[in-house]
Structure 1
Amino acid sequence: MTHTLPAWYNQLMKKYPVVTLAEWQLLDSIATIKHIKKGDAFLRYGKVARYSAFVISGMFKFAIFDEEGNEKIVKFSFPNDFLANCESYNKKAPSALSIVAVEDAVVLKINIKKIQPLYALHMNLLHVNLQLFQELLEQQAEHQYILSLKSPLQRYKFLLEKRPAIIQKISLTNIARYLYTSREAISRARLLLLNRTRNVCD
């Protein structure tokens, strides 16, 4: 039995055109809408992951803590992005990171155990699953490259040129945690780049 999907599915359909309307409807039938307040977790550190989700609205950070208890961010997720910790789910092991809303958010929450059998029946869904895994690997590689840059200025400049959404939407404190440096260092880098731009325009 088919049903009308909410309007926000249109963006997911554009991002993943291989999935048919009937398959989106099937996915919707096993998913639930969850509202998550700023600062609350979709997945907490130490909990075994059992759910994944598409972000409908809001933003999330994937955070870890170093030995001194300092928060470091390994990834951000924006609307239409995917939230998951596949390693925790596959190994049935406590999550080494937290997935936390950085603003009020709404997600399409999916029980991983329910969706996995669908991959054998719907190759389009399997294709999207593989695409999401590929995107994750690329994001991890990019973050490692950013951290290999020697100075906060170089790291901030990379985001400015390649990932402006992070600069525009994420707080300076969380950008610093993503770049593994201090808020003050990022503030100085931002001011320096701003002054350079002004000098070019003068």
Structure 2
Amino acid sequence: MEVQILRTHIEKIVPLNDGEFEFISSCFTYRKYKKHQFLIQEGEPVPYHFFVLKGLLKLVYTDETGKEHIIGFAMEDWWETDFPAYYQEIKATMSLECVEDTEVLCLRLEDYRKLCSALPKLEHFFLEKAYMGFIAAQQRTISTMTAGIKDRYDQLLKKYPSLIQRVPKSLLAAYLGVSRETLSRLPL
């Protein structure tokens, strides 16, 4: 059942036959994690790129003062990892933690490369996903530089309405780059 969710996800971009999908699914490992459990910890190797089947994750960068900055959230049908550490095979500079109990499919880098080499259509799929990620990151950067906190919150609400219902205000504040108190004072 879990792998069927992945097939549906991939086929939003590229068609697959049963043989292709059997090969693809053989490259993934299913894992379950509990709320507050880490999938990636800063300073450790990053063995997987994660596809979220169920649950909610937060990607966090902790600065030299110990302040946590939420880089992003990942919920159902999303991919997440510490991309520089994963692709460059270096130690993680970020942590990936469960906000809710979470189920994921895990893809090792060598399996990712094997899939892309054997199935150019899957390489196209991952390229399209990367483009969407780059676009979202650039839009967030521009919003952070040009919009006030109320406008950034409204943009987040409009783009990801279900996320607002699932994420505690303290985490939303960290994602938006403000204190919990500042977020609480907004006329929402």
TM-score normalized by structure 2? 0.89
TM-aligned CA deviation for residue 5 of structure 1:
7.2
Moved more, 54-63 or 162-171: 162-171
| Residue 156 (structure 1) aligns with | 153
Where does 1:1-202 land on structure 2 (aligned, <5 Å)?
6-9=3-6, 11-189=8-186, 192-193=187-188
SS in structure 1 of the partner of residue 103 of structure 2: strand
Residue type matched to 1:172 in 2? Answer: K
SS in structure 1 of the partner of residue 69 of structure 2: strand
SS in structure 1 of the partner of residue 39 of structure 2: strand
The 1-side partners of 2:138 and 2:47 are apart by 25
Identity over the aligned pairs, expressed in percent?
24
- Structure 1 ranges of 4+ moved more than 6 A: none
The 1-side partners of 2:177 and 2:3 are apart by 39
Aligned pair in 2 of structure 1 residues 26, 173: CA closer, same or farther (>3 Å)? Answer: same
CA RMSD of aligned residues (A): 2.0
Residue type matched to 2:77 in 1? Answer: N
The 1-side partners of 2:18 and 2:146 are apart by 43
TM-aligned CA deviation for residue 22 of structure 1:
2.6
Aligned pair in 2 of structure 1 residues 14, 184: CA closer, same or farther (>3 Å)? Answer: farther
Tell which structure's C-alpha radius of gyration is larger.
Answer: 1
Say if 1:44 and 1:99, in contact at 8 Å, map to a contact too: yes
TM-aligned CA deviation for residue 14 of structure 1:
4.9
TM-score normalized by structure 1? 0.83
TM-aligned CA deviation for residue 114 of structure 1:
2.0
The 1-side partners of 2:163 and 2:144 are apart by 16
The 2-side partners of 1:117 and 1:17 are apart by 18
Residue type matched to 1:8 in 2? Answer: I
- Structure 1 unmatched runs, 5+: 194-202
The 2-side partners of 1:99 and 1:15 are apart by 26
The 2-side partners of 1:183 and 1:153 are apart by 13
Aligned pair in 2 of structure 1 residues 137, 56: CA closer, same or farther (>3 Å)? Answer: same
The 2-side partners of 1:17 and 1:120 are apart by 16
